[in-house]
Chain A
């Protein structure tokens, strides 16, 4: 059977301030195929797709769509021409019904501009039947699971007669069963002649679903391969481009002294029976999917969220009056998974962000000691090699990696005993990641106890002495570093994933 190209992207280049996000990238999509797009975080996958779907309209290079040179000024224009994107963050309105959401902004009308609800219902039924889904179109979005919401987003694309559907990490919030469900739907879309771009960093999914795969690394085009011509190992080495030992520093042995003890922590419907111990100088990894409760556990330990029962001991002493302030005073710090929400204040300078959690050091009788602030902040600024013009630069103007360094600096100016790092390398470039890894290892060497939460298996295994596995709000297992590595290799061989 002959194949037909539907999209050709040639020599795409996109520059953000200070970063070349994409450099001379090519991509060809064929009708009715599932095309995988893989690469590490920050490789440029999402940026490339935002160019194809019209979100970014300034770039160099050419898009050929159905053989013709095309330029999409906006997402709307791309949508009208048949290119839909299902974003990582879903944007549906929880209080509206399935039917209302599907036809939001393009409701079928009847006489005098009134919404034709019957027609809307009929059309909704029609698309639902097209994919053989038996949802009630009058259900509210908030009653659906994430996988179902995702299906509605896909339905939206189909009901607009999209010929290309781009899916950006569609399974990142799904359980295995939900993922399987999604895969079946993707296969049936493919049979109907719809072209799919599938972005994922889960290689087993790529091998399961895709016909072809394109690899990006650090914004560069590495190559496009038929899925039958590559192996998992080959893909990994192309994505990473270097040996793992180059990225992750070797970690030292930990001490024997127990620093933090969490005893039977419970929070109704969120997590239960969470118990573990953390030693001085130890890096304890927590691995689990998004929504597994891992971040919630950390938030509760830090004092950001309340919990129902359980006890937390630091150096043998029970922590009472749980609040963030008390945690900080006791020597617990946390780098949250969403740094722009919990990590730093955007319109404040680097310096001010570092001062806020450390008033006990930087003020007396509520008066700021500007001289001491400047000295101490300059020290940490140099130590972490934060790249900014001055310490007075606004934090929101920095790159993701440097913002994360500011968040770390907030805590490292003080004597922290336990540092909770929740996805500390999310959304930052490889270079900054390496710096952060090195820093973590160095801190552990100095005796800091570190909790390292990550959904990147490779990262969390390479960086931890021990690994706790979280699922559905429980700790379901613990692996030593050696066991985890062994497990990873097995998994790679047997299932084809990592």
Chain B
């Protein structure tokens, strides 16, 4: 605690609270100056639409990372949900059923991940890595590697509007609000921070940490399932090859959004902003006709930068 006066506001707290918004504003203004197409409403709405699926996954990922866990299977579970949801829709033509199937698959895999982690004490990294492969395999068997079509009825979810705002964007915002309220106002929410901050002390306070972890994983899984439904609706088909890598995009949004990988610190609002920042950068690079290879490099640098700031600001506190 060398450089830190008791309770004094320091760089770490300021960055965590406002830094991310500052970065967003700076990016927004400079993007607007660089390219005049950027500010067009259609473009801005497009950005939000593009980040919708990943942001929904990132909401769940925020809960997991704040509580000291992670889900590597999110991307392929999203794919699996999308394909099964598409399958259900193609077979029955029932939209609510398709949505329930998609979300249900997410909930189920989330619960299994949580069970492996709490019952068999697997590291979240390992358990969800295993789940990644299982989900991929099941998806391939189910779809036979082919896209599932005949999902015309879900068009509104992927392409509809409510007072001019695309439905996927609204779903994303609802997911953010849901997780925000959950993390802020419920006992589970406080437990998420407590488990990530100091698991042993949380146990010693009488909290059933394992049960909480299973619930967190299940809710996060449900959000992944929802993202799968949105993905399917946006693509208007169940695509067995789309979704892999989304978990890392989601984790990127969480980290850029100021959530600490060490656990105990972070908000879903930060994650939303982090996701928008990533979306913005991709968008402006697109508008400038810079190829995807360079976009990948930018994203990589962004992750490294965010983590360096995380470690540096944390370091201020722990170095003694």
Contacts and interface: CB of A to CB of B under 8 A. Distances in A.
A352 B193 contact: yes
18 contacts: A16-B1, A18-B6, A323-B206, A324-B205, A328-B206, A336-B204, A343-B204, A345-B197, A345-B201, A345-B202, A348-B194, A352-B194, A356-B205, A357-B206, A367-B187, A387-B6, A398-B6, A410-B205
A224 to B, nearest CB: 28
A363 B186 CA distance: 8
Nearest to B66: A347
A55 B264 CA distance: 29
A192 interface: no
B190 A352 contact: yes
Interface string A357-400: 10100010011101000000000000000011110010011110
A344 interface: yes
Given A17-B2, A352-B193, A342 B186 contact: no
Contact of B203 (A58, A324, A348): A324
B200 interface: yes
A357 B208 CA distance: 11
Interface residues of B, number: 30
B5 A18 contact: yes
A397 B1 CA distance: 7
B144 interface: no
B216 to A, nearest CB: 14
In order of increasing CB-CB distance, the 3 nearest A-B pairs are: A389-B7, A345-B197, A347-B264
Interface string A10-34: 0000001110000000000000000
Contacts, number: 100
Interface residues of A, number: 41
B185 A356 contact: no
A431 B205 CA distance: 27
B7 A366 contact: no
Interface string B192-230: 011001101111111110000000000000000000000
A304 interface: yes
Interface string B253-291: 000000010001100000000000000000000000000
B4 interface: yes
Interface of A: 16-18, 58, 304, 323-325, 327-329, 334, 336, 341-348, 352, 355-357, 359, 363, 366-368, 370, 387-390, 393, 396-399, 410
B73 to A, nearest CB: 27
B191 interface: yes
Contact of A397 (B201, B260, B317): B317
A304 B204 contact: yes
Contact of B6 (A327, A356, A366, A399): A399
A243 B250 CA distance: 62
A355 B6 contact: no
B194 to A, nearest CB: 5
Given A17-B1, A393-B7, A344 B317 contact: no
Nearest to B264: A347
B6 A345 contact: no
Nearest to A304: B204
B6 A357 contact: no
B208 A325 contact: yes
A204 B190 CA distance: 49
A366 B317 CA distance: 32
